[in-house]
A = this chain, B = another copy of it.
Amino acid sequence: MFTKQSARRYPLFLATLLLYCWPLAHAQTDPLPSWNSTGPKQTIMNFVQRVTRHGSPDFVPADQRIATFDNDGTLWVEQPMYVQLAFIIDRVHQLAPKHPAWKTTQPFKGVLEGDMKAVAATGEKGLMQLMAATHTGMSVDEFQKIVTDWLATAQHPRFKRTYTQCVYQPMLELLAYLRASGFKTYIVSGGGVEFMRPWTERIYGVPPEQVVGSSVKTKFETINGQPQLMRLPEINFIDDKEGKPVGINQYIGRRPIAAFGNSDGDQQMLEWTTAGSGPRLALLVHHTDAAREYAYDRQSSMGRLDKALDEAHAKGWIVVDMKNDWKTVFPPQH
């Protein structure tokens, strides 16, 4: 009952309530619950507060709060091989019955026999042949369906969950936290743009128009009276290393104020981001957790982190130590 007496005491009652509940309320709204309270979390939250607080000398208007994220190894797992490479291998197996010559021709023979050394020996030319055979010759709509169907069932060999469940929970929280703080979050990945767009909105909350990636050329054709965009066996753009700032400028047309990566492929994106004036945030995920995920850096053929790690130390970019800075790695399985 709210009596006349309690009404008179109301201001005091409210103040007491606030005093007791504030720490709880605050804890409940921690935007990064899967991050330990170590340096990276503090630096990220300080940065976001500086650029979003009106009157702060570092305030950045919302339309300029562009944040770019690498995908492989930054948002989802890239070991024991890039997910897109697992897709290529599966597709070669699926398509092989229609291509009897593949049994005796590299690089297809190597893929079918699991002889990755033979595949690697075919070099860039071999990789392009695999790309062409699995990623081109169909319309963009058809390719979208192929990717969606594959991702619905294909499983990670170690974690026995679909690849879209092998995403990093702390990074999902970071994406959501930045968006809640008025940032526009982009993916800027060396992976194929049309390999990502069918699912990034559902998994990351990043819509197709905010995904930048590598691409093949496409051609507009009218087939049986229906306009189609056909995927051609020709590289259009490689969105990796020096290509990342090029892609950012080409697709977004603004310089990010925050960039997140995990390998030497992200070095130029972080350089480009931090070279702008005003407050900037650069972060590398360092895979140090063999128990929960993987531990790799300077020697890895996938996601090598070597020069960018040196530059991060020299320039004070955040280096996330996955083992110590993350409470959990993957989201709860559903």
Contacts and interface: CB of A to CB of B under 8 A. Distances in A.
Interface of A: 63, 66, 140, 184, 193-194, 197, 201, 207-209, 211, 215, 218-220, 222, 226-227, 229, 236, 242-243, 245-246, 249-254, 268, 271-272, 275
A84 B106 CA distance: 50
A227 B245 contact: yes
A191 to B, nearest CB: 14
B272 A249 contact: no
Contact of A254 (B208, B245, B249): B208
A220 B246 contact: yes
A51 to B, nearest CB: 18
Contacts of A194: 253
Given A226-B275, A227-B245, A245-B229, A253 B220 contact: no
Contacts of A246: 218-220, 229
A209 B245 contact: no
Contact of A218 (B215, B227, B250, B271): B250
Return the 9 tightest CB-CB contacts between A and B, nearest first: A208-B253, A220-B242, A197-B253, A209-B252, A227-B275, A220-B245, A227-B271, A227-B272, A218-B246
Nearest to A210: B209
A92 to B, nearest CB: 26
A64 to B, nearest CB: 10
Contacts of A140: 249
A143 to B, nearest CB: 11
A209 B220 CA distance: 23
A218 B242 CA distance: 10
A220 B272 contact: yes
A79 to B, nearest CB: 27
B219 A236 contact: no
A199 to B, nearest CB: 12
Contact of A236 (B197, B229, B250, B254): B250
Most buried by B among A207, A229, A253: A253
Given A219-B242, A219-B246, 13 more contacts: A66-B209, A197-B253, A207-B254, A215-B250, A218-B246, A218-B250, A220-B242, A220-B243, A220-B268, A220-B272, A229-B245, A229-B246, A229-B249
